[in-house]
Amino acid sequence: MNKRKSTLYTLLVLLLAVAMVAAGCSSKGGSGGSSEPSSQPSQSSGAAASPGASDGGQPAGTPKKGGEITIAYGIDVSNFDPIKGSNGADHSLLWPVYDTLVKFTPDLQPVPGLAESWEFENDVTLVLHLRKGVTFHDGTPFNAEAVKFNIERTNAEGSLVSELKSVESVEVVDEHTVKLHLSQPNSSIIAALTDRGGMMVSPAAVQQYGDDFPQHPTGAGPYKVAKHVNGQEIVYERYENYWNPDAVYLDRITISIIGEENSRINALKSGKVQFVPGIQPQNIKTLQAEKDIEVIEGTSMLYRRIYINTEMEPFTNKAVRQAINHAINRDQLVQALNLGYGEPAHQPFPTGYWAHDPEVRIEYNPDKARQLLQDAGVQDVKFQLLRSPDPYDVRLADMIKAHLQEVGITVEVEAMEPNAAVGAFFNKQSTALLGNWTGRVDPQLTISSLYSKNSFYNIGKAETANSERLIAEAAGTYDQNKRKELYGQIMKEVLVDEALAMPLFFPPVVGAYHKSVKGVEHNLLGKPLFAQLWLDQ
């Protein structure tokens, strides 16, 4: 690869991503309730850190071995098979079990994971050099054949993961070297290996358990699943033969599934749990007043949005979609719901992020919304909106309902448990879902996941006249300035011109934990990292 391309590859990494809930969907209850080398291996050398190590949280100190903690989490894993899950909140529950081929720092720089290094042989051939001496929890070896098995499985029928579709074939060079042959240049391929497609499962376990593999999750991560009571509890126990034992401290981590935020907070105050990710801004001051509790706050790429099915009425009508976008007062949502924390969302990238385009804005203009409906001859517009029973989502849905009522649009709000709501929407049993997009390590992953015609999250298979061509062009472009320009064009067409999606706002990412818990760190993905926690007892 020439020097120019080497530089361009380096530009591919920058901050992005987000936290808490619904991986491109789901309503609130999540977190609290997914790079690129130069012509030589993209060497972020040294021991690979867990995804995200921090720009926030308490001073590092000297980690201590042993002990166990309980974490209150707002939602259970949707599926313990990485390629079968549909909720962005899953990542924090999957990472302890499944190491990824590539990991990332708090600012989303790629670093070695199960792949020690990598290089592009040419624009469409990625070479991965694998870590030696790694075993899965069942004792079977992690090697090049395992990588081939996993990537082919990720791209097979039945998988919900689409980020690796550009991998045309996987070539086993030797036991610890694989080549990924791409169908076309892919600017996000390294970042994709930090996400679900890069989570390595045991081929032997998949072959042994078949469809029951999610009940027997077997990876190469620092923790094994010792117990899983659906909807109630997940217990992780440290994997004794983990390849990097010095990076794992706790003997046991218990996830207590508590759907209601006040119940999670009360459990923290009473000492029943020691860490609560996903706190709403209204509870910050109360928690800061507790002498034994620390609060960590940061921003991320997670944003609230309304998912719509453009194949179902009334969203088949462009004027209706545009009217809804113009009728929602995003600034008011930020002030009323988040006490001014966060920012309105007009696109999937917040201000300050390199892929953000300041010219992509959705105007708040209820008069324009009424005029659009009138000009289109549309009357008595109504639709069903699914939401979680969380009080925060209750308030958000009620505000949206009131905004739309002002322009003559009726919203029928229905409460549903988060995973059930996601299932109902993506099974086309409802027209709209109030949820989140939890972000990805590279903007191409977000753009293609949300707006590509054949993406799982684009349930109505909606597209503009140019969106598919522009998405494909951005995927094959390694110049960051050109990529930004292309993303701006895509977002303008999809969000402003055609209103095929409805962004709302970027909330703050807040967590609370007992002072004895160390290793709590913020990352731009906004998703908590449990495997790096330790206790100062």
Question: Looking at the predicted structure, is the pLDDT value of residue 307 above 50?
Answer: yes
Mean pLDDT of 92-109: 92
Percentage of the chain beyond pLDDT 70 is 89
Furthest-apart CA atoms within the chain: distance in Å:
68
Q: What is the DSSP string of 441-469?
A: SSHHHHHHHHHSTT-TT-TT----SSHHH
Q: Rounded to an integer, what is the distance from CA 81 to the centroid of its chain?
A: 16
Is the torsion defined by CA of 97, 102, 108, 109 positive or negative? positive
Percentage of the chain beyond pLDDT 90 is 75
- Identify the pLDDT of residue 280: 87
Q: What is the DSSP string of 351-386?
A: TTSTT--TT------HHHHHHHHHHTT--SEEEEEE
pLDDT band at 60 (very low <50, low <70, confident <90, very high): low
CATH superfamily of the domain spanning 303-506: Dipeptide-binding Protein; Domain 3 (3.10.105.10)
> Hey, which residues does 306 pair with through a beta bridge?
434, 502
Mean pLDDT of 514-536: 92
Of 478 and 10, the structure prediction assigns the larger pLDDT to: 478
User: Which DSSP helix (H) or strand (E) runs through 471?
Assistant: helix 467-475
C-beta separation of 77 from 23 below 8 A: no
Of 352 and 59, the structure prediction assigns the larger pLDDT to: 352
> Strand 509-514 vs strand 343-344: parallel, antiparallel, or unpaired?
unpaired
pLDDT band at 535 (very low <50, low <70, confident <90, very high): very high
- Identify the pLDDT of residue 39: 23
For residue 532, count CB atoms less than 10 angstroms from its CB and return exposed for 0-12, middle for 13-18, buried for 19 or more. Answer: buried
- Identify the pLDDT of residue 40: 25
Mean pLDDT, rounded, of the chain: 88
Per-residue buried b or exposed e for 384-419, using 16+ beta carbons within 10 Å of the residue's own CB? bbbbbbbebbeebbebbeebbeebbbebebeebbbb
Query: What predicted TM-score, i.e. pTM, was given to this entire model?
Result: 0.72
Q: Where is average pLDDT lowest: 24-28, 218-222, 388-392?
A: 24-28
Residue 118 structure tokens:
């990598």
User: Which DSSP helix (H) or strand (E) runs through 404?
Assistant: helix 391-405
- Identify the pLDDT of residue 480: 84
- Identify the pLDDT of residue 193: 96
Rounded Cα gap, residues 38 and 55, in angstroms: 26
pLDDT tens digits for 129-168? 999 999 999 999 999 999 999 999 999 999 999 889 999 9
Question: Looking at the predicted structure, is the pLDDT value of residue 298 above 70?
Answer: yes
Rounded Cα gap, residues 38 and 116, in angstroms: 15
Question: Looking at the predicted structure, is the pLDDT value of residue 16 above 50?
Answer: no
Mean pLDDT of 258-272: 96
Q: Is the peptide bond between 314 and the residue preceding it cis, with omega within 30 degrees of 0?
A: yes
Residue 489 structure tokens:
């064009």
pLDDT band at 92 (very low <50, low <70, confident <90, very high): very high
pLDDT band at 502 (very low <50, low <70, confident <90, very high): very high
Question: Looking at the predicted structure, is the pLDDT value of residue 11 above 90?
Answer: no
pLDDT tens digits for 427-468? 999 999 999 998 888 899 899 999 999 999 999 999 999 999
- Identify the pLDDT of residue 395: 96
List the chain domain ranges. Answer: 303-506
pLDDT tens digits for 458-470? 999 999 999 999 9
Among candidates 322, 316, 314, which has minimal Cα distance to 382? 314
Q: Rounded to an integer, what is the distance from CA 18 to the centroid of its chain?
A: 6
pLDDT band at 273 (very low <50, low <70, confident <90, very high): very high
Of 526 and 359, the structure prediction assigns the larger pLDDT to: 359
Mean pLDDT of 117-128: 95
- Identify the pLDDT of residue 484: 95
For residue 37, count CB atoms less than 10 angstroms from its CB and return exposed for 0-12, middle for 13-18, buried for 19 or more. Answer: buried
